[in-house]
Structure 1
Amino acid sequence: MKIISLERKRILGWKNIFVIILVLILVSLFLVWVYFSDYKENNDQTLFQVYKNIKEDRKSTRTNLLTIDKVKDVKDRYKMLYKSKNLTDDSGNLRKDVFNSEFKEDKYIFDTIVTNYSPAFNYDPSCILDVSNQDINDFYKIRLNKIDQLMGNRINSNNVELFSKERNEILEEASKMQEPIKYSYAEGFKLAGDGIGIVTRVIIIIVGIVIAPLFSEDKQTKMNEIILSTKLGRNKLTFYRILTALLTTTIIYILGVIIFSVIIFSIFGIKGGNLYIQSGAGYWFSPYNITYLQQFIINIVIGYIACILMAFITMFITTFAKKIIYGVSFVSMFVLAMMYFGVANNYYLDYYLLNFLPWNLVNYFNMYTTYYRYNLFGTQIDKMIFQPVVALIIILVAFVGILCRKKKTRYL
């Protein structure tokens, strides 16, 4: 334990911890600032006024049902407001103050209704103005048709094969969504589920930087000279340093999750964790019938696996470089490569490689809203299970690789 403590202090002293905490706080506050900009009712509204509005919304205790009658009511009210010409200002921009005053709690479901009737990937509120009574009655049926359409679009755009059995299973899972779905104020969990992916990516970068020097020589304690006198000593130090990496990564990740959660939930509240993610427009077409709380927990677990994976990849890469500068450079190039190819949006590259690496592993929105599974010897496995499991296998392979690599080298 003394060795682990010394090694941990070498790469994660109090100074580094303070810097990491500061970075995580700034990232979390930046996300809050971005979220606040979406809640502004006009450009003149201050952040404090936005916070007061959010605080007022948090007092809502009503949980409503998105019934067919509610869809018709929202459509009629929006149409009336649209015709009154009070909905937009002189520049044609939406007057959120007028909109929020009219719809109150229903503003949280308005985007979902619009998304259901809008063309795919084209959010258009005006599309609900002329929605027929038949379309209103078929509200939930249209959702399933859209999911089927989105699966067809993916097949055509990527030239991939989606087995009819797989397609039917996804549609069957999507059809199990509660009807009519409940909705209410759930901004805290909604934003936490979305933002935790960004925070985790920052943590992944931090882990790479912090872990990179772990296998370099420590000239202050002369640890190499003391313990590497025998082969047994070398193996023991390698194992202890791997444990140090696990401990360090865990500390950083827990700090990140706590800081982000405290900031988000203290501002936006903790209500709505029991609501299904489909109550929000972003996940309306998701086939996963889980609540916001379940989603947040799943994201945290997968995020932890991604950070541990990054730690092991970093250790394996740095076994090829004795000097710290070389190790940090190699790790930096690896992170930049993940970031670059992560935005390239190449289906085959994502499907067969990038989805199992840390950066894409925490692309939660893609995980919940895309329609594909992995075929393993004829068995269809959900990506939410398959990707983390493969990541754990990569961690095991990297662990063995580190041990084997260290047996062949004279330095750590």
Structure 2
Amino acid sequence: MKEIIKIERKRILNKKFLILFFVVLLLFSVNNSYYAVKNYDVLNNTGVVQTWKENLTHGKENTKVKFLKEDYLLSLKNKEESSSYVDETNLEDLVAMNYDGKKVQDLSDKEIKSFYSKRLSNIQEMLDDSSRINYTKSEKEKMMEQAGQLSSPIPMDYAEGWKVLNENMRKFMPLLLVLIALILLPLFGSEPQTKMKDLYRSTRYGKKKLDRARLITAFMVGIVLYLFGVMLYTIVMMTPFGWEGGSQPIQSNAATFFSVYNITYIQQIGINVLIGLLAMIFLIALTLLLTILTEGVMTGAVIIIFFWILLLLFDQIPLYPVNHLFANFMPLRMTDFLHYYTENDIYRIMGNSFTGLSWTALVSAVLSILLLILAVVFSDMKRMKKL
């Protein structure tokens, strides 16, 4: 079995494919990183006032051991001139989120003192006024209890690299998953022109062994390529920003300020990578099933591409029932990670409430197993017919 896996792995991972895979991911990562850092250039009518390097350096130097509490808010409120450095704009974004677009300078002393209670009241209002979900009393209480467990005051240390990585990972994941699926298509889409063909087609047991080896190879190769791609993207994205701030709570980012999940940026990345891995396993299982049924690389590729186009169309029509019942369990929506932390989606199953994050992971795993079982069954059926 090991020898078969080794041969199959070499067959699909030749140097040309590996170089192309690496180059495409590297170019995409560098492009994402470039535009991410350029967003930190501060401009006026005459051009660049502060470069991204100056902006980030100022942020690193001026956010050490700073917390989002009354004295920090008051110091910025009483400051004669506001700046555009990232450490101050981060705070301004959080204030705007909490107080419906207000600036720090417009806050009263009472509003400053009640900053965290205002956050909780905003979350409560979101749950009460949700047009998508009619939360039960116990569901609201549970989420409010989670939201109230946020350790305050929030540390405001520099963490721009982790914020950018979390926000941009959703752009990278679909590309990575599609590339992996296309690389794996030849496993069942065509027979290798080697002595293995005669050796393992000669008997029923031999062909069965070959098919099982290919299934194992698909997941082994997929996982290795996935982890390599994630590591490459992480390094390229984080290098200009630095690795500081991974232990900061995600609530120090305006995008996830109202999240009820009390986790750090590193934990958020870990969750995102795990969900992305589940999405990849689902896509591999689907790819194997399609290539076993069609027995053609081009046919399988066309179906995979059509599948992603369909998911993109669903993504352009953000209907809650469609997302809730279908798109949430498909790779594109699964890797659009932000909604896990901000939308408070729930699934009610047999009297129990599950978060969108946990239920998506569970359903995706079950669907992957079912697709894999179907792939094995159809592979066995086709083998029996050819004997």
| Partners of 2:161 and 2:237 within 8 A in 1 | yes
- 1:12 partner letter: L
Q: Which residue of 1 aligns with 2:112?
A: 136
RMSD between aligned residues:
2.3
| Partners of 2:11 and 2:192 within 8 A in 1 | no
Q: Which residue of 1 aligns with 2:56?
A: 54
Q: Which residue of 2 aligns with 1:30?
A: 31
Give the distance between the partners of 1:184 and 1:344, measured in 2 at CA. 38
1:40 aligns with 2:41: yes
* Matched residue SS, 1:150: helix
Query: Shift of residue 284 of structure 1?
Result: 0.4
* Matched residue SS, 1:206: helix
| Partners of 1:277 and 1:284 within 8 A in 2 | yes
* Matched residue SS, 1:179: coil
Q: Which residue of 1 aligns with 2:12?
A: 11
Query: Shift of residue 286 of structure 1?
Result: 0.5
Give the distance between the partners of 1:21 and 1:133, measured in 2 at CA. 54
Give the distance between the partners of 1:219 and 1:208, measured in 2 at CA. 18
| Partners of 2:94 and 2:257 within 8 A in 1 | yes
Q: Which residue of 2 aligns with 1:265?
A: 238
Decide which moves more: 195-204 or 395-404.
Answer: 195-204
* Matched residue SS, 2:107: coil
| Partners of 1:68 and 1:137 within 8 A in 2 | yes
Q: Which residue of 2 aligns with 1:84?
A: none
Decide which moves more: 14-23 or 227-236.
Answer: 227-236
Give the distance between the partners of 1:60 and 1:304, measured in 2 at CA. 37
1:173 aligns with 2:173: no
| Partners of 1:21 and 1:255 within 8 A in 2 | no
Query: Shift of residue 149 of structure 1?
Result: 2.3
Q: Unaligned stretches of 5+ in structure 1?
A: 82-86, 88-97, 119-123
| Partners of 2:76 and 2:105 within 8 A in 1 | no
Query: Shift of residue 195 of structure 1?
Result: 2.1
| Partners of 1:317 and 1:327 within 8 A in 2 | yes
- 1:212 partner letter: L
Query: Shift of residue 130 of structure 1?
Result: 3.3
Q: Which residue of 1 aligns with 2:96?
A: 114
Q: Which residue of 2 aligns with 1:146?
A: 122
Q: Which residue of 2 aligns with 1:75?
A: 77
* Matched residue SS, 1:267: coil
Give the distance between the partners of 1:14 and 1:125, measured in 2 at CA. 56
Give the distance between the partners of 2:290 and 2:137, measured in 1 at CA. 42
Matches within 5 A, 1:347-358: 347-358=320-331
Query: Shift of residue 400 of structure 1?
Result: 0.8
* Matched residue SS, 1:268: coil
- 1:38 partner letter: N
Q: Which residue of 2 aligns with 1:63?
A: 65
Decide which moves more: 15-24 or 384-393.
Answer: 384-393
Give the distance between the partners of 1:54 and 1:282, measured in 2 at CA. 19
Cα offsets for 1:366-406 (capped at 9, x unmatched): 11111122222111222222211221111111111111011
Structure-2 change in CA distance of 1:234 and 1:278 (3 Å): same
| Partners of 1:200 and 1:303 within 8 A in 2 | yes
1:293 aligns with 2:266: yes
Q: Which residue of 1 aligns with 2:369?
A: 396
Give the distance between the partners of 1:13 and 1:368, measured in 2 at CA. 40
Matches within 5 A, 1:155-170: 155-156=130-131, 158=132, 160-170=133-143
Structure-2 change in CA distance of 1:306 and 1:46 (3 Å): farther
Q: Which residue of 2 aligns with 1:91?
A: none
* Matched residue SS, 2:339: helix
1:376 aligns with 2:358: no
How many residues end up aligned between the 2 structures? 382
1:228 aligns with 2:228: no
* Matched residue SS, 1:39: coil
* Matched residue SS, 1:246: helix
| Partners of 1:217 and 1:224 within 8 A in 2 | no
Q: Which residue of 2 aligns with 1:206?
A: 179
Structure-2 change in CA distance of 1:290 and 1:217 (3 Å): same
* Matched residue SS, 2:353: strand
Query: Shift of residue 46 of structure 1?
Result: 10
Query: Shift of residue 60 of structure 1?
Result: 5.3
Query: Shift of residue 55 of structure 1?
Result: 4.4
Give the distance between the partners of 1:24 and 1:342, measured in 2 at CA. 23
Give the distance between the partners of 2:194 and 2:219, measured in 1 at CA. 21
Give the distance between the partners of 2:359 and 2:232, measured in 1 at CA. 29
* Matched residue SS, 1:409: helix
Give the distance between the partners of 2:175 and 2:11, measured in 1 at CA. 21
Q: TM-score, with normalisation over the residues of structure 1?
A: 0.86
Give the distance between the partners of 1:166 and 1:289, measured in 2 at CA. 17
Structure-2 change in CA distance of 1:46 and 1:253 (3 Å): farther
